[in-house]
Structure formats: C-alpha cells, structure tokens
Amino acid sequence: MKRESKRFRQKLFNTPLASCRSCVSVAVLGLALSVCGGAFAQPMQVNVPAQSLDKALTELGKQTGLQVLFGPDMVAGKKSTAVKGTLEPEAALEALLKGAGLTFRIENNTVILGPENSTSSTLELGATTIQGQGMGEMTENSGSYTTGLTSIGSKTPTSLRKTPQSVSVVTAQVLEEKRMTDLAEAMKVTPGITVTNNNFRLSDFSSRGFKIENIQIDGAAPMALGTTSGSFYSNKNYDLVEFDHVEVLRGASGLFGGTGDPGGMINLVRKRPLDAYQLKVDMSAGSWDNYRTQMDVTGPLGFDGKLRGRMVAAYTDRQYMLDDRGTEKPIFYGILEADILPDTRLTLGGRSERIHETGSGIGLPRDVNGKDLGLSRSTSLTQKWSYLDGRSQEIFAKVDHELNDDWKLNVSYTQTLDSGFSKAAFSFGAVDPVTLTGPRTGGTNNQYRSDQKLLDVNLAGKFEYAGLQHELLVGMDHQKITSQWEGTASSNGVGNPVNVFDPDATPWPQPGTDKNFIRNYSPNSQTQYGLYSTLRLQLADPLHLIIGARAQRYKFEQLYQAIEEGAWKVQSDVSTREATKLVPYGGIVYDLTDEWSTYASYSEIFKPQQSTMQGPLPGSSMEPMTGKTYETGVKGELWGGAVNTSFALYYTSRKNEAVLDPRYEESSVLFGGNCCYLPQGEVVSKGVDMEFTGEVLPDWNVLAGYTYNHNRNRSAAKVFSSITPKHQFKLWSTYRLPGILNDVKIGGGVNLQSATYVSGTTFVNDVEQNYKYVQAGYAVWDSMAEYRVNENWSVIYNANNLFDKKYYSKLGSSASGNWYGDERNHMLTLRGTFW
C-alpha cells in the first residue's frame, strides 16, 4: 500500500531523445527536475482533439516537448477544447485551457498550472490518497509500454530497477493494441515465456524450461493456475476484461508463490475505479466469425468522490480455425471502492462468467515414427455435438489502512468457484504409414468443480536507522482449494477407426448426456499456510540488501474411486502433509547511477510430489522437490522512466525429482498415487534474459526480449524440456506518425524461436514404437494499423501470422497432442472512449 502524503502528480512530458541531449537542473515547487534546454517560442504543428483535460495536456506535452506540472484536483472532470494548427506553445496552451478556470506560467520550459485569480506562486496540493499493495501502478490511459512500479516480487509497489529478479509487464496499452482478450495471448508477447496448448481451450505457460503453476491477483495469496495437467480442475481461462495489466516474474518464486516449479509466477492487476467519469466501448469482428463486444464504465458514485465504481461487460461469440470449434461467453466484472475513513479504503467486487464451448479434441496424431501427416491446419478430429458448459465466479474484498505516514496494513480475501459439464469427442492413436490406420474414436461425459479460498494479510512500513531508510514487510497467507472431477464410462461409438484424412467419413454416434459416473476424484484438495517477511536494508546510499523467508505448511488429499463389479472401490488414497518448510530469499541492489543498477539474487521453491509414491506398495509420500535460482544482472530506468531495460544471467536447479525405483513393479493410477519412485532426479537450467521496453522516441514504443536457455536432466543425461526453445526473441513496436498524419499509428512485431523436438514411445496394435519429431526454428509476424477518427473514436486493424507461417504451436506424441498455430487471420476493431 503506497500513500502519496502530498497528493501531487507530476506530469513530465518531454522528448526523451529528440534534440534533448544537453540538460540543466531547475527546482520547481521544491522538486528537482531534469529539463531540456531550448527555445519553445517557435510556432509548431499541434493537433490535440477535445478530450479530458488530463489526457489533452499529456498529448500537448508530447507534441511540444514541454513539461507540465499540475495537481489532479485541478483537472478532474474537466474537458479541453480542440487545438489544431501551427501555433506557438503558449498560444496552444491558452486555447487548450479555454473555459477550464485555470491559468499557467512557463519557467525554464516547464509549464505550471494553477487556478485563475490566484496570486500564490505555490501549487496547491490535494488530499491524501491510498494505493493498495499488490496493485503496482495502473497503466490504463498511460500510453506506456512499461510501468514505474510493480508488486510481483515484493508485495509492495517497487520499481523494476530495484527488483533483483527478472520481471516483465504487459501494460494496458499493449493489450489494447494487439487486441488481447485472454491470458494466453498476453503471455505470447511476454519475453522469456513459452506458451503451448494444454487441450482444446487451455494453455500451459513455462519459463526457463519449467511450468508456471502459481498466479496472484493484486499480489495476494497464490492461486493454482488451473491450466496445467493434473491441476485442480478449474478449467479456467483468464479473460483480461477484468485486468489492467499483467506482471510476470521468471525464476523461483517460493517467497510469495508457495509451492511450485522454479519457472516463475504471474500477477494479474485488476482494473480499479477512476475518480472521473469514463466510458469505453470496444467492438471487434475477425476471421472465422470471431466477434466480441466490450463496455467499460467508471467514475465517482457519490459522497464527493469517496465512493467510486466500475462495471465491465463483454460478450464473445466466435469460431476458430479448427473445424467444429466455437465459444460463446458473456462475462461481467464489477468493483466498488470507498474511502470509508481518511486513512482507510474498502474495495469490494466480483466477476461472473458463463462458458459454452463446442468441439473438444486432444490434438492431432502423426505416424508411428513421428513423421508429419500433412493434415489441413483446420483438422480437429472432434464432433459438433461435443461441448462444455461451464460457469466461473469470483468475489473479493480488500481493506487498505494507513496506520501513519510510514506503516500500512492490507487485508484481502478472494473466493473463486469454477464448475461445468463436458461431453467430449476426441481421437487417439498414431497412424500406421502403410495402412494409414490406427487412430480411434474416444470420449466420455464428465463434470468438474473447483473452489479456491484465499486470504492474505500483511503489514509494510519504513523506518530509519543510522541515518538511512529501511523497509519491512511481514505477512501471512492461506490457500484452500477443494475440487472434484467425475467421469462416465466410454461413450457410444468409442473405438471406431478414424480416417484422419477424411474425418467426416468416420461414423461417430452421439452419446447421451448421462451422468452415470464411474470415476470420482473427491476429495481432491490442497491447503497451504504461509508466513513471510522481507527486510530491505539500505547499507549505504547506493546499496540495498534484501533478505526474506517464508515458513510454509502444505497438505494434500485425494481419494480416487471407480466402480468395479457394480460397487465403488478405492483405486488410490493419497494424503500428504509436509512439515513446516523454510524458504529463504536474498538479493542485493547497487545503484551505479541514477538510471542504472546492478543486482544479484537467490530464491528457492519446494514442490510436493503428491502423485508419486515411494515403495513398497501401497507406497508412502515422497519428499518434495526443491529448487533454487541464482541470478545476476544489470537494470536500467532510462529517460525519466520512459524505458526499462535489463540483462540477466541465471542458473536454476531442481532436485529430488521422482525417478522409477527398479526394485518394485511399476503401478499407475490415472492422476492418482503412482508407485514406486525414488527422489534422485536433478534438473539444471541456465541462460540469459534480456529485455528493452518503453518509449525510445516520441510516439515510438518498443517491447523486445531475448532469452537463451540451456536445460538438462542430469540424472537421465538428456535434455529436460525439449519443447523449450534454446533461443527465443519477441518484438512488438508501434509508431504514431508525425504532423498531419498524427491520427495514424502503425505497428508490427515478431515471435521468433529456434528448433524444438519431442521423442518417446507409443503403442500401435499392442506393439511399442519409438518416435522423434523435430520442428525447425520459425518466425511468426504480426502487424497493426490504427486511425483516430476523432477525439472519441478509433479504428484498429490487426493482422496476425502475416506471412501465413505453417508451424506447430505444441508438439505432442505420435498419438495425439499436436496443435497447429493459427493461420493468417485478421481483426477489425472500433473503439470509443468518452469522458
């Protein structure tokens, strides 16, 4: 929770690189500002549409190179007049502020606003505001590709440069430009992240060869991501309508993430109510009958702005590149924010989402040796009558209380409930290259339910010792997940041969919608308790030491039963309780200059192995895997925070991975307690992370990242994650044209990666076959163009996979799990914003 004890917002609009190489320092209102010299009396081309005064001043500052200082109360709820033509900056300002009740003066190329008829030379500052912990910095309407503050590695808003781990942020500006609607799309543009299909509608995310399994919302207690195999059946695909931006930490995250792999953690930052009225409307239409409408309205609701609200609604009705696939999804998100006391804010909100999916499938097969079959990219091997009907709900509450100017208390609670029923139709089996047969029909009916309850309480503050300022955070969190999955026997028609080259010729009788379940995972629950603390010590003016630890307790229970001979019988009964684990964390940050820092960090995780048991049968709990990440690098915060850049070297190891115990016969239970194993596996991942994000020149934004990864399974003497590319480069950039073409923005980017492969064994006609498939490196290019029709409306055109590259977005086995990336596709969006 961050409090601005003087509610003052400095708008610093200058040209970072253009003609501003020599700067002098001036003091304005007691603040040291770096401003560029030069004469601003010359007439220049100005084009600022009528809009909210805050945004108009932002635009004018960018076009003229002036710096503008004002308090937020001065401009709240006010609109500007349109200004266009060749004008001197002073004349442009006079026209822009006409009727706003404000005056201005220019000192050293810095504009200072004030109320009319005021004789005071000091800018009046408004009342106190409170910013919640875990929320970082809102990026909406900033026009920026980066942010000054993030909370994913600290719980409290901290600059990226002072966070001693690799962190990326996908801001609201990038989400809007690329027309991203779900988390998987945002992760595809995030540096260092590999996105692969988990099934027909969900994706897996990995970093440095390890899956990302934890997610936070507003930096609170960790949630199970729910998109990875063997998770808690939430079947959750996060729609971005609820969120302002996405933060991603790469590397071990056990301090705040609890259990999980050392791949990293995701923090989704919710949209919050604004203190001025705003309405946004977004209507899109694209390839394969892809339609989406979204409305977002926010503003003060009463009590002199102390009660604010926001409501967002979106409706998706779309088909896909794949045959027989579609989605229909309405979603509503609402949030209320109330300053119930001068130092206390209460936030309440919720989300409701309905899901109707048609088609299912588990990906395409290849031949028994792994050779590509050359199928059409639209082949899905499912049926139109298969479907999933689901519901996802969320409620949350949050209290931010400021004890004094230095200490803040935060309490947050979130509960999510995901449930649904599915009638599946899919094909499974490798293709014999001689007979062209092998795959057969499959499918069952099933239903799922997942309930997550999350509580987080923390206290953060600053104190002085030895003339230096230090920071302390102490807190606790609690996660309780209760889930259930039930399935029927194989549906009618299962086992029929499938002609993968002509799926419509395959007879596939439709099963009934029965709920005669014969398999039941219940209870399937996980509980985590954590006590955490970090201490940021300022050892010297440029040197900071961060030490922290998490004390963690973990419990998992799963009972799997199936009907045999007309009666329910226990197939697997797993109950795992881990003694208190201490997960340490340490980091050091040294400020080389005001813009550059170097850092080093050490972080750990531990991950229980509840689905693997030690012998002898029936088996006992395995000790958890442990992992740690060492990282060192350099970070820069350049041109007044317009650009963030980083270079990191990392080394991650994970030990105690389960390997088969040759002393016992292997037994396998689907998603249950398998036996028998030994904790002897070791995996190592090392490499380089580089990122450059922000506004490099006026109206030219860049998001770029390069990752090199080398991972190895030392116990098996082979590559650990062969689907993680050794080299990965991501770029997205946009530029708003100057002068009379200023209403036009163009952009483009590429996702480029090196070769990947899969290998293994499968059975064809009860004969074991080895397979291996290599996918060469490839590049996928995207582009966009935007035209600003007037001050309220814009038209955006997106073209994805511009050169229609044919590639697999996921490599599976020879029997299934191979998914083509989307063909070239297009999207046209009409977006309106009103103040």
Q: For the segment 318-372, what is each residue's pLDDT rounded down to a tens digit?
A: 999 999 999 999 999 999 999 999 999 999 999 999 999 999 889 999 998 888 9
What is the C-alpha radius of gyration for the chain, rounded to an integer number of angstroms? Answer: 28
Q: Is the pLDDT of residue 21 over 70?
A: no
- Specify the pLDDT at position 419: 95
Handedness of CA 510, 513, 515, 520 (dihedral sign): positive
- Three-state SS for 159? coil
Q: Is the pLDDT of residue 65 over 90?
A: no
Q: Give tens-digit pLDDT for 619-671.
A: 788 889 999 999 999 999 998 889 999 999 999 999 999 898 888 888 888 77
Cα–Cα distances (Å) from 195 to 183, 202, 287, 308, 671, in that order, read 10, 10, 22, 37, 23
Contact 113, 102 (CB under 8 A): yes
Q: Is the pLDDT of residue 291 over 70?
A: yes
- Specify the pLDDT at position 109: 64
Cα gap 532→256, rounded to integer Å: 7
pLDDT band, residue 765 (cuts 50/70/90): low
For residue 249, give the nearest of 158, 184, 166 by alpha carbon: 166
Contact 509, 492 (CB under 8 A): yes
What's the rounded mean pLDDT across residues 687-715? 96
Contact 269, 218 (CB under 8 A): yes
- Specify the pLDDT at position 227: 53
Q: Is the pLDDT of residue 530 over 60?
A: yes
Q: List the single range of 73-77, 254-258, 691-695 with lowest mean pLDDT.
A: 73-77
Q: Is the pLDDT of residue 508 over 70?
A: yes
For residue 313, give the nearest of 392, 231, 239 by alpha carbon: 239
Q: List the single range of 70-74, 397-401, 528-532, 678-682 with lowest mean pLDDT.
A: 70-74
What's the rounded mean pLDDT across residues 292-313? 96
Residue in the structure block whose two tokens are 């009463």: 302
Q: Which has more confidence, 70 or 157? A: 157
Q: Order of strands, edge to edge, in the sheet holding 210-211?
A: 193-197, 203-207, 210-211
- Specify the pLDDT at position 77: 65
- Specify the pLDDT at position 766: 66
pLDDT band, residue 492 (cuts 50/70/90): low
For residue 635, give the nearest of 93, 101, 273, 153 by alpha carbon: 153
- Specify the pLDDT at position 132: 53
pLDDT band, residue 486 (cuts 50/70/90): very high
For residue 319, give the nearest of 358, 375, 376, 363 by alpha carbon: 358
What's the rounded mean pLDDT across residues 215-235? 77
Q: Which has more confidence, 746 or 84? A: 746
Q: Is the pLDDT of residue 286 over 60?
A: yes
pLDDT band, residue 103 (cuts 50/70/90): confident
Q: Is the pLDDT of residue 175 over 70?
A: yes
String of b and e for 265-283 (b: at least 16 CB within 10 Å)?
bbbbbbbbbbbbebebbbe
Most confident of 76-80, 166-170, 677-681: 166-170
Cα gap 614→603, rounded to integer Å: 28
- Specify the pLDDT at position 23: 33
- In the 8-state DSSP scheme, what is residue 511? P
What's the rounded mean pLDDT across residues 445-459? 95
Cα gap 215→55, rounded to integer Å: 33
Angular region, 305: left φ>0, alpha ψ -120 to 50, beta rest: left
For residue 267, give the nearest of 249, 279, 255, 254 by alpha carbon: 249
Contact 144, 171 (CB under 8 A): yes
- Specify the pLDDT at position 233: 81
- Three-state SS for 640? helix
- Specify the pLDDT at position 42: 72
Q: Is the pLDDT of residue 444 over 90?
A: no
Q: Is the pLDDT of residue 312 over 60?
A: yes
pLDDT band, residue 123 (cuts 50/70/90): very low
Cα–Cα distances (Å) from 626 to 251, 471, 657, 658, 681, in that order, read 13, 29, 8, 12, 11
Give the chain's mean pLDDT: 87
What DSSP string describes 427-484?
A: EE-PBPTTT----EEE--EEEEEEEEEEEEEEEEEEEEETTEEEEEEEEEEEEEEEEE
- Specify the pLDDT at position 635: 97
Q: Is the pLDDT of residue 609 over 50?
A: yes
Contact 166, 189 (CB under 8 A): no
Q: pTM of this prediction? A: 0.86
- Specify the pLDDT at position 18: 35
**Hey, which residues does 825 pair with through a beta bridge?**
800
- Specify the pLDDT at position 30: 28
- Three-state SS for 223? strand
**Hey, which residues does 16 pair with through a beta bridge?**
none
Q: List the single range of 27-36, 584-593, 778-787 with lowest mean pLDDT.
A: 27-36
pLDDT band, residue 226 (cuts 50/70/90): low
- Specify the pLDDT at position 118: 54
- Specify the pLDDT at position 310: 97
Q: Based on the number of CB atoms within 10 Å of its own CB, is 570 exposed (0-12), middle (13-18) or buried (19 or more)?
A: exposed
What's the rounded mean pLDDT across residues 278-295? 97
- In the 8-state DSSP scheme, what is residue 79? B
Q: Is the pLDDT of residue 554 over 80?
A: yes
What's the rounded mean pLDDT across residues 56-71? 75
**Residue % of the chain over a pLDDT of 90:** 60
Q: Is the pLDDT of residue 745 over 60?
A: yes
